[in-house]
């Protein structure tokens, strides 16, 4: 088996590449990346050690993909500009060219080279206004979804695939949703084999987190290095909730999906930590203190940004029913694994977190 992973030097792409190579019968894996995100270059030695071939290229340039020799059995599309704030302080050109036009180039490559496509989409395709309008109860450490809801696609288990996507959701979310639609047209027109995983918050060791993408890894890092933090939005209490997914759990799902090719028909699946893997920033602060043995001051900024939502939890009932999958790595273990990674790589990663 021959696999191409676009975004292959990024956090998720590199983790999947190394996991594929650690299998009993490892496939040939090519990691393709433009190395734009700071820290991605640190994954290159790890990819080489795992026997992954690295190719420097950009999905925005179809010629870079065309230069890759041979055919591939699978294309894992993990390249993205992943910031929900992308384009809000200027032009959205880069996020749209990378996430939408780049996806088109990947689809053309897959069509011509005979590859199936695994597309890593995002929960950010769901519209912000309905997400802000879900019925909540406020608990001492978190917001929770109320048992009764007015909007379709939401319940105590979280946000399901039927939740509205027809209203604004950020340039990032719009670009990924548009890419999903184009991919499904390729399935209909050309018989392309594909599956779409709408991932929630992915967090774990090896992630170079920032406030707008990878905040939970950033939260652990600030505790580890003794840097202050701020609860931002919704009153500044840290009660907003997300569900966390470790890429090792994602890899388990990918393997199950590869074993069930009859389901590669453009179907969409919510993939995340689910209700059991959900955590508020307030609660995660305690997990970080336990994982690092350190406490840091946490300030409060009550004002809420235009793209933030109080609760997002993935309802994974559909993917569980289809592939018999559910995540195993809980938020506390994710925090501990991140802290151990920081400890083992402190000198190398310190400049990325300590400015």
Banded pLDDT at 287 (limits 50, 70, 90):
very high
| 54 conformational bin, left if phi > 0, alpha if psi -120 to 50, beta if neither | beta
Among residues of the chain, what percentage have pLDDT more than 90? 95
Q: Does any domain span residue 35?
A: yes
Supply the pLDDT for residue 38: 85
Banded pLDDT at 211 (limits 50, 70, 90):
confident
Supply the pLDDT for residue 209: 85
Supply the pLDDT for residue 212: 73
Question: Which residues have C-beta within 8 Å of that of residue 319, sequence separation ≥ 6?
Answer: 197, 253, 269, 270, 271, 325
Supply the pLDDT for residue 29: 98
Q: Does any domain span residue 227?
A: no
Mean pLDDT, residues 277-304 taken together: 98
Tens digits of residue pLDDT in 337-355: 999 999 999 999 999 999 7
Tens digits of residue pLDDT in 15-45: 999 999 999 999 999 999 999 988 899 999 9
Q: Does any domain span residue 98?
A: yes
Strands 265-271 and 229-232: unpaired
Supply the pLDDT for residue 98: 97
Q: How many domains does the chain have?
A: 1
pLDDT at 8 over 90: yes
The torsion of the CA quartet 62, 67, 69, 74, rounded to 10 degrees, works out to -20
Angle between helices 215-225 and 346-353 (to 10 degrees): 110
Tens digits of residue pLDDT in 120-173: 999 999 999 999 999 999 999 999 999 999 999 999 999 999 999 999 999 999
Length of the chain counted residue by residue: 355
Q: Any idea what the CATH number is for the domain that residue 64 is in? A: 3.40.50.720
Banded pLDDT at 325 (limits 50, 70, 90):
very high
pLDDT at 210 over 90: no
Q: Does any domain span residue 254?
A: no
Q: Does any domain span residue 50?
A: yes
Among residues of the chain, what percentage have pLDDT more than 70? 100
Contacts of 27-30 spanning 24+ positions with Cβ under 8 A: 27/1, 27/2, 27/3, 27/73, 28/1, 28/2, 28/3, 28/53, 29/3, 29/5, 29/53, 30/2, 30/3, 30/4, 30/5, 30/54, 30/55, 30/68, 30/72
Supply the pLDDT for residue 283: 98
Supply the pLDDT for residue 69: 96
Domain hosting residue 183, numbered range: 1-126+169-199
Residue 131's nearest CA partner among 100, 105, 152 is 152
Supply the pLDDT for residue 76: 98
Prediction pTM value? 0.96
pLDDT at 89 over 90: no
Q: Does any domain span residue 131?
A: no
Supply the pLDDT for residue 14: 97
Supply the pLDDT for residue 51: 98
């Amino acid at each position: 088996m021959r696999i191409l992973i676009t975004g292959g030097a990024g956090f998720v792409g590199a983790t999947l590449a190394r996991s594929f190579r650690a299998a009993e019968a490892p496939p040939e894996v090519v990691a393709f990346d433009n190395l734009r995100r700071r820290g991605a270059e640190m994954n290159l030695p790890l990819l080489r050690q795992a026997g992954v071939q690295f190719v420097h290229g950009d999905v925005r340039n179809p010629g870079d993909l065309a230069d890759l020799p041979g055919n591939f059995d699978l294309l894992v599309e993990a390249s993205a500009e992943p910031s929900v704030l992308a384009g809000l302080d200027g032009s959205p050109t880069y996020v749209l060219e990378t996430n939408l036009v780049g996806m088109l180039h990947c689809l053309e490559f897959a069509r011509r080279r005979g590859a199936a496509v695994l597309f890593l989409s995002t929960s950010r395709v769901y519209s912000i206004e309905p997400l802000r309008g879900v019925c909540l109860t406020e608990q001492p450490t978190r917001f929770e979804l109320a048992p009764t809801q007015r909007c379709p696609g939401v319940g105590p288990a979280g946000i399901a695939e039927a939740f509205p996507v027809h209203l604004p959701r950020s340039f990032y979310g719009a670009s990924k949703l548009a890419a999903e639609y184009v991919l499904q047209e390729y399935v209909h027109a050309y018989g392309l084999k594909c599956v779409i995983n709408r991932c929630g918050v992915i967090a774990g060791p090896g992630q170079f987190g920032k406030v707008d993408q990878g905040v939970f890894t950033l939260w652990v890092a600030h505790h580890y290095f003794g840097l202050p933090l701020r609860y931002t939005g919704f009153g500044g209490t840290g009660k907003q909730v997300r569900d966390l997914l470790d890429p090792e759990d994602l890899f388990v799902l990918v393997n199950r999906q590869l074993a069930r090719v009859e389901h590669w028909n453009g179907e969409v699946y919510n993939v995340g930590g689910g209700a059991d893997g959900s955590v508020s920033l307030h609660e995660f602060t305690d997990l970080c203190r336990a994982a690092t043995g350190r406490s840091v001051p946490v300030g409060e900024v009550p004002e809420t940004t235009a793209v933030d939502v109080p609760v997002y939890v993935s309802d994974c009932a559909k993917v569980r029913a289809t592939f018999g999958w559910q995540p195993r790595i809980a938020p506390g273990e994710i925090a501990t694994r991140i802290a151990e990674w920081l400890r083992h790589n402190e000198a190398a990663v310190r400049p990325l977190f300590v400015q």
